[in-house]
Amino acid sequence: MEVINNKRELVASINQCKKEGKSIGLVPTMGALHEGHLSLVKEALKDNDVIFVSIFVNPTQFNNSKDLETYPRTLENDLQLLKEAGCSYVFTPSVEEIYPEPDNRIFDFGYLDTVMEGANRPGHFNGVGQIVSKLLTLIPANKAYFGMKDFQQVAIIKQLVKIIKSDTEIVKCPIIRESDGLAKSSRNALLTIEHRKNAPIIHASLKKASTFVGDKNVKDIEEWVINEINSNQYLEVEYFKIIDEDTLQPVDKFENHNGVVGCITVQAGNVRLIDNITFK
């Protein structure tokens, strides 16, 4: 496994892979790797000759400076995990390497970034667009892999690919969970003991809510989930929305849509936890 920290060496490695006719898979990450990330690497290994994983905590997608400061960084452990997983190349640039000058680009994602995370974290998805567009340009992979825990982000990135006219195929991969149901996340490491103990209630509530389809209407299910989670003193729902999986717009009735997903963000102490579940 080769570790690269500058664009010049990265381009040289990419060119060599292309010269040899090798297909390339890309797994963009912000580090603090867990089984969820490694599942993306495993999926990429099935489809491609070589795998590039990027590790970069992107400052432009944080609208909270404290969140950026406290985001877990475990590079040494990350590299060991990737080596064991069979990764070919790891790109670990500095902020100065990625942003030698300010990136002032503004992306128009239409309504996709105006709801849920977009409404609660202004500028977040534009920052995601900035870094992912840079990575897709630097590493013009055949396929790039993203986890569905970040459901809205995947929708944004698929739109981004159209905007920048990238040929990279975006591959959606399933949520990987802890044994108690909590969606794996780098931020889980920041949870206190009590918050970690109670966090599985989020997924348990979503699973229970999915059994109500046909008996309760959309609004009642949304209210039930919010009340169920908020009844726990360690958790507070920021939002829970039942949406059309393609448009991300709220739905009134389940039967009027091909796919319906419930997306949630919960504050557990100082940590924001996101999750989602498919209703139909």
Indicate if 195 belongs to the active site: no
For residue 52, which of 11, 19, 21, 20 has the smallest C-alpha distance?
A: 11
| The one catalytic residue among 37, 124, 195, 203 | 37
201: left (phi over 0), alpha (psi -120 to 50) or beta: alpha
The structure tokens listed for 140 are 């013009």
Q: Give me the amino acid identity at 132.
A: V
Whole-angstrom distance, CA of residue 262 vs CA of residue 260? 7
Which of the 8 DSSP states describes residue 257? Answer: -
State residue 27 phi and psi, 5-degree precision. Answer: -125, 100
Give the E-state strand segments of the chain in sequence order. 2-4, 24-29, 50-55, 89-91, 143-147, 169-173, 236-244, 260-268, 271-278
Residues assigned a catalytic role: 37
